[in-house]
Amino acid sequence: MRRTVFSRLRRIAMAGALALAALGVFSPVEARAEAPLSVVATTGMIADAARQIGGDRVSVRALMGPGVDPHAYRQTRTDIAAMVRADLVLWHGLYLEAQMEEFLRELGARKPVVAVAESLPRELLISHVDYSDKFDPHVWMDPRLWSRVVETVREALVAARPEDAEVFAANAEAYLGELTQLADYSDKVFASVPETARVLVTAHDAFSYFGRAQGFEVLGIQGISTQSEAGLQRVAELVDILVQRKIGAVFVESSVSDRSVRALIEGAAARGHTVIIGGELFSDAMGADGTYEGTYPGMIDHNATIISRALGGAAPERGMSGRLASGS
């Protein structure tokens, strides 16, 4: 059936191009030379890198917007059409887009399709707790590790449009410089969090790379994938930890239901221990389109600022460069 879809879309695109050429509307060769490189990225984080590196030489579409869970996302007919027509498709890999993986690998036999996070050396990855042959995909939680993925995005753009290589290289250098500043800011604010408070409790286990980079213990109610179930036993275990270690704040996520987190708060309260929601973190998706938090640097700046302030550290209310929304 997928082969039929590909064939039908290809025939439609070819017929449209021939019709316009016959009318003298455009020359296909000239259009390819002048039009921006058409890029489809699965996640917002990848799309942000492609936009920053490509500038006006690319047109980027992200399939998954704010609040969308990539673990459960399935491609729509519109998504399929966009990816078939694109010059380049960038996806994360490492089993993040689990429901789309078969389609993406099949598409890769027909056109440039790059799983950007799978370029990372295996020794830098954290093993998946549920699958012996897979890894935790949430590598964007460590800006220094994510910088390596950004370099792969740059290489994919250069391979797709070699004539713009110098532009892509200059833009990538500037973007990577911003990520270095972001990593340095994160180091600074997290260093101010008391050692005993360096415990991050969230809805699902998306922050292990953050924890490894910053020396935090990370406890997720659900596993690495939001598709895993949060059992009553796991909730009870975490309530015990909150009470025994006097942890005063837990965090909700923008792309995951807060039901399990609120169960933790209620369980701790029943045992006489008050726990607050320290804030909403961006885990698998960025903030609203058109906002600073809707960029990768804004996403990580928000998380670093919220976490450090909630756990007793010192961070400016408006973040690294004063761009966070008030009360973010």
pLDDT per residue rounded down to tens, the chain (328 residues): 444 444 444 443 433 333 333 333 333 433 445 699 999 999 999 999 999 999 999 999 999 999 888 988 999 999 999 999 999 999 999 999 999 999 999 999 999 999 999 999 999 999 977 777 889 999 999 999 999 999 999 999 999 999 999 999 999 999 999 999 999 999 999 999 999 999 999 987 899 999 999 999 999 887 554 444 556 788 889 999 999 999 999 999 987 878 889 999 999 999 999 999 999 999 999 999 999 999 999 999 999 999 999 999 999 999 999 999 976 6
Q: Pseudo-torsion of CA 60, 62, 63, 64, nearest 10°?
A: 180
Tokens of 62: 């992200």
Question: What are 310's two structure tokens?
Answer: 């909630």
Per-residue confidence (pLDDT) for residue 4, from 0 to 100: 44
Distances (CA, A) of 318 to 185, 304, 315: 13, 11, 8
pLDDT for position 10:
43
Please report the pLDDT score of residue 55 as a whole number.
98
DSSP 8-state symbol, 135: B
pLDDT at 224: 52
Q: How far apart are CA 106 and CA 102, in angstroms?
A: 6
Phi, psi for residue 161 in degrees, rounded to 5: -140, 75
Residue 24 confidence (pLDDT): 38
* pLDDT score, position 2: 42
Residue 230, helix vs strand vs coil: coil
| Encoded tokens for 26 | 């455009």
Q: What is the pLDDT of residue 129?
A: 73
Q: How open is the CA angle 95-225-151, to the nearest 5 degrees?
A: 45
Predicted local confidence at residue 16, as pLDDT: 37
Q: What is the pLDDT of residue 137?
A: 95
DSSP 258: S
Query: What's the confidence (pLDDT) of residue 328?
Result: 66
Alpha helices in the chain (DSSP H): 2-22, 28-34, 44-54, 77-85, 101-107, 143-160, 165-191, 208-214, 232-244, 259-270, 296-310
